Amino acid sequence: MEPSVTVVAGVVVRRWSRSRRNVGRARAELRAVLAGWGLSGIEDAASLVLSELLTNAVRHATTPGREIETRYLQVPDGFRIEVHDASEVRPLMAIPREDATGGWGLPLVDVLAAKWGVADREGPGKLVWAVLSVT
């Protein structure tokens, strides 16, 4: 199933079913958006950040019947990625043990993004956001 796509006032909104296959699809869509906005220089970092945030939502936001929403928008000197889901559980960043095979996602986001955070949203759930700098 193809994701629904909406563009309102320069914000690209896409809805995805909770499937791991959609993480790669979302990265491809993000790269196309960045290229269209002349921001190809940050596409590698933005793709990694999106992958981590969306993978967390797919794994942990297990509210039945709810889709995950991504939003992409330009901000002064950068680009903002948002991942919305219906889970009330907020992600916590912890540094995993050196030999850990998982848990590195948010520390990676913390390194790649100029800033990131978690916020409430209208309706159930939360949004996790990251801003990448183009300067």
Domain of 10, CATH number, reads 3.30.565.10
Q: What is the DSSP letter of 20?
A: T
Q: What is the mean pLDDT of residues 29-57?
A: 94
Number of domains in the chain: 1
Question: According to the model, what pLDDT value does residue 114 have?
Answer: 96
3-class secondary-structure state, position 21: helix
Tens of pLDDT, residue by residue over 67-99, are 999 999 999 988 999 999 998 888 877 776 777
Question: According to the model, what pLDDT value does residue 77 have?
Answer: 84
Position 113 confidence tier, pLDDT thresholds 50, 70, 90: very high
Domain with 27 in it: 4-133
Q: What is the mean pLDDT of residues 130-135?
A: 91
Q: Is the confidence at residue 5, as pLDDT, over 70?
A: no
H runs (alpha helix) in 1-135: 21-36, 43-60, 105-112
Q: Is the pTM of this model over 0.85?
A: yes
Report which secondary-structure segment, H or E, holds 116: strand 115-120
Q: Is the confidence at residue 64, as pLDDT, over 90?
A: no
